[in-house]
Amino acid sequence: MFCRHCGAEINDKAVVCVYCHKPVRADKTAGSGYHGVIGFVLAVLALFLPVTGLDIVCGTAAFIFSVVGLARNQRTGLSIAGIIISILAVIGAIVMLFDGTYHNYYII
């Protein structure tokens, strides 16, 4: 078969392209699930980001990625965790925004 990333001819059983080192499987088991992972990572990031405004953006992006991940059945557990954490992060960020806790770091 041919690598769908670089077009090089590779072994039919290859999981990773030997030329560009990217996963070549088109099925759902390999190379998928990144939305859920990104959503979860962004959600955790948003939760701990001390920059009001940026954490709201980050939390919103996390929520979107997690919802997409969940909709595509990608790493469902991580996606659900990402949705919950991102909601908490955004609510927390908005509360802190009105509380004025991080007004010195407000950039957006």
Which candidate, 21, 58, 17, places its Cα nearest to that of 39? 58
Q: Is residue 84 exposed (0-12), middle (13-18) or buried (19+ Cβ within 10 Å)?
A: middle
Q: Is residue 105 exposed (0-12), middle (13-18) or buried (19+ Cβ within 10 Å)?
A: middle
The interface mask with Zn ion, positions 15-44, x = CB under 5 A, is: --x-xx------------------------
Does 5 bind Zn ion (CB under 5 A)? Our answer is: yes
Please report the sign of the dihedral spanned by the C-alpha atoms of residue 19, residue 21, residue 24, residue 25.
Answer: positive
Closest separation in Å from C-beta 3 to Zn ion:
3
Query: How many residues of this chain bind Zn ion (CB under 5 A)?
Result: 7
Does 6 bind Zn ion (CB under 5 A)? Our answer is: yes
Out of 3, 43, 45, 96, which residue is the one contacting Zn ion (CB under 5 A)?
A: 3
| Stretch of 11-19, 34-42, 73-81, 93-101 contacting Zn ion, by CB under 5 A | 11-19
